[in-house]
Every structure is written in structure tokens, then in C-alpha cells.
Structure 1
Amino acid sequence: MNIDLSGKTALVTGSTAGIGYAIANGLAGSGAGVVINGRSRDKVDAAVRKLEGTGAKVRGIAADVSTAEGCKALVAALPDVDIIINNAGIFEPKDFFEIPDQDWSRFFEVNVMSGVRLSRAYMKGMLKRNWGRIVFISSESGLNIPVEMIHYGMTKTAQLSVARGLAQLTTGTGVTVNSVLPGPTMSEGVETFVKDLAKQNGQSVDEAAANFVKQHRPSSLLQRFASVDEIANMVVYVASKQASATNGAALRAEGGIVNTIA
């Protein structure tokens, strides 16, 4: 399959590192003009330079998409896109009884409202042009709510609802809205988390990673963390012209953790 996104502009939020950067790299490799986004100008510039080194067509916009003001500034700098990957997100293992109200609100603003605001801004243009792709990076945690971070799981379930609802607004058009559900993925942030676990438990990083999957995701068929590129591969396909019949779907890239057939 030759995925060709030449002439398309793709925005990937939270793309200075990790899954977001891997997605940006994959889209650029398929010919799309890619817009890198993050809160820090320095990190955005560094990611742009790195991607430019591959010959990609890329630019960067520093904006905090967890706020209405940040989303407004981003849209002002980039009025139209063909593809938006709502990837920006945060996670934090925390005992339910120690999660204050402000954390619930903060997680919802970052993980859910960023995608709501940007989809609201860009989707009308996609519908008018009769082509577009909106992808929410959800998680298997939206289906299997993790007891160690219930507030995170709540936001990932919410993303699935938003994506499905938006998809129903695209009936009969060339626009699609889907979610991709990664499982444990070895991004930079997760790597730091695993290193901390290893230090706490007197283990090697590999041992800590393997034990985490066995203990917290025992139903995994993969039995390891996925790589960021494995997640990006799914997202690039969903953003492609070839995925025209895939709409309103929650697509799993979680290594078989979710133990259902549908």
C-alpha cells in the first residue's frame, strides 16, 4: 500500500516527542506538510529541526492547547488543516483518594477539551472541502479503566464519545473521525516513569517494564510495551485516503489487552 498525502496539511498536537513526534514523522514520510505543536518554543523548534533533517515539509507552532486561549492562538496561526491528530495529553498514576478536584479539571482540559476546541475550529472547513481526517489518540485505558489513574481513564473514555459523536456529523461526506487506542507504549514520558519504577524496586529498566505489563496489563497478548512507531503506523493509515471507509471507529493498537472480540 502506497500512502500518499502530498498536498495535505497535517497538525499533530503534542508532537515535540513521543507518540506525537512519531506520528508527525510518519505523516511527513507519506508526503504531508506537517505542523509540529507543543507548549515550549524551544522544544517545538528542536523537533522541527530534527524532522527537517529527514527532508520533511514541516513548520512549528508553540501553543498551549490545554487552554481556550492557546487553541485560539494556534488556529489564528494555522486557519485550515486537512488532517488533525488530537494527540496532546497527560497521565499520572495517583491513588483515587488523593486526586483533588483541580486534577480532574486539568486532565479534562488537556486530554479532552483540546481536541474538542480544535475539532470545532477545523471541522467545518473539512466538511466544506469534502475531505478531512480527525483522529483522537485515546487509550485502552478508556475501556479498561486503570485503578492507578482513574482520572486519566475517564478522559480517554470521553475522547471515544466525542470522536463517535463528531463522526456522525460527517454522514455522506469525505471527512472521517476516528480514535486510535494505544496500550503501554515506550515514549519518552513512559520511559521516565519506567526508570523511576526500576529505581524504586531495585530492578533493571527491562525488568521493570516487563513486570509492569505482567502486573498491570496481564491480558496483554503482546507482553511488552509497544514502540511509538507501531502506534504511528496505525495513525498514518487512518489519516490516509485509503482509510475512506473507516469512520466512527475506535481502532486498537494496544497489543490485545482488551479481552473482547468487538
Structure 2
Amino acid sequence: PARNPHQNIADLKAQIAANEKGVAELREMVAHFGLDVVEAYMGHVQDNAAESVRRVLERLPDSSAYEYPTDTGQIIKVKISVDRQKREATVDFTGTSPVMKNNFNAPEPVARAAVLYAFRVMVEDMIPMNAGCLRPINIIIPEGCMLKPTYPAAVVAGNVETSQHVTNALFGAMGAMANAQGTMNNLTFGNKKYQYYETICSGSPAGRMNNGRGFAGTSGVHTHMTNSRLTDPEVLEL
């Protein structure tokens, strides 16, 4: 809670500590392998991710579009156009509803994160999530639409609700799977001392793999951004 400064400061200190741990591990890696080797392999990881996404693009149609209406009356439109020669794709959200006087507007990074997530999911190989996945993807988000709001537009539901809408629209445009529940289905309760926050699952939609093989949906499982967890510190210390 905003009125619990001691807890908020403790959270910030934990985030700083986690970053410091990452810095220490990276320095240890550089000391062991050398900076040139580490930088080279960072490049290899991103190059491999970019090539993996390009192979996904080869299986997509030249152009596909999807229109996703929301319960609030807003519409998310997305068009995916593939340039065969450049082996790139443009993800265009032109036509999406303008900023509304509700809190379902989503900051631009939320929409970009959904694009990154969707194309990473379409890669059916074991690769780490990294910026290389977006190298072949050009993203167009018009100024003033609900996916690119400006202050003082309210955005609190953008991360937990609209992100799911964008994800559904992207998979729909790619013909990859049916819509999931379209919400993170948040449950939260607590008092001044204790707080609890959880996302409630629904089920995963049916769809098809890149080779055209279909798969059935499943009930009672988390999907997309509700598939989250808190990792115990003891696990990180192993």
C-alpha cells in the first residue's frame, strides 16, 4: 500500500539488491571468460532469437488482421504484414480505440511487451526471452490511441486487463489459438500489515502448432500473463 512506506522502501531495497547480485554475477562471468567472449555470446543469443522469429514469419500469411472488442466498448485492432524479402513483419495497431475516460488505457511498453511475448511463444524452440525476438518486428502504435496514452490518462487496468486483450488479438491475427479469458482475474485482500495478491486461472484455448497440427484447450490452468509465480529466495540461493 502507498501508505506503508516502510514496506515500500524494503521492496525497493530488495530490487536494488537483486540488481547488485546480477551485476556481481556478470562481472564474475567476464572475469572467467573475458569480455570479448561474453559480448560475443550475448550477440549469438540475440541473433539466434531473431532468426527463430524470422522462421515463424515464414509460416504466416502475407497479411492478417484481427479486431478485438472489449467489455468497456473499446476495440483493439491489429494487422500483421510480412515482408518476405526482408524477412520482417510489421505489427500495426492503427484503428485501435482512442484514449478513453476509464483506466483500461495501457502504456506503450505494455503493448510492446505483449508483442514480444506472443512472438516468443510462436517460437517452438527452447530459447531465452531477449530483445533479439523483436529485431525482425516493426511495431506501429498510433499516438493518442488507448495503447499509447499520455498523462493524465488513467492506466491502472492496462497492465492487468488490456495486456491480455492485446495478446488475444495478436494470437488471433496469427491464427495460432483461440482467445483466453482476456483478464488477469486479480484477487487481492489484506490490511495494514498483511497483503495478498493472486491471479486466478481459467483455462488455455485450443489452437494449432506451426506445422498445422491442432491441439485442444485445457481447463483450470494459467495462461499468458496470469502464469506468474513468486520464487522462494531459497531457490535463488541454490
TM-score by length of 1: 0.27
Bigger RCO of structures 1 and 2 (CA < 8 A, at least 6 apart) = 1
Name the structure where helix makes up a greater proportion of residues: 1
TM-score by length of 2: 0.29
Look at both structures and tell me which one has the larger radius of gyration over its CA atoms. 2
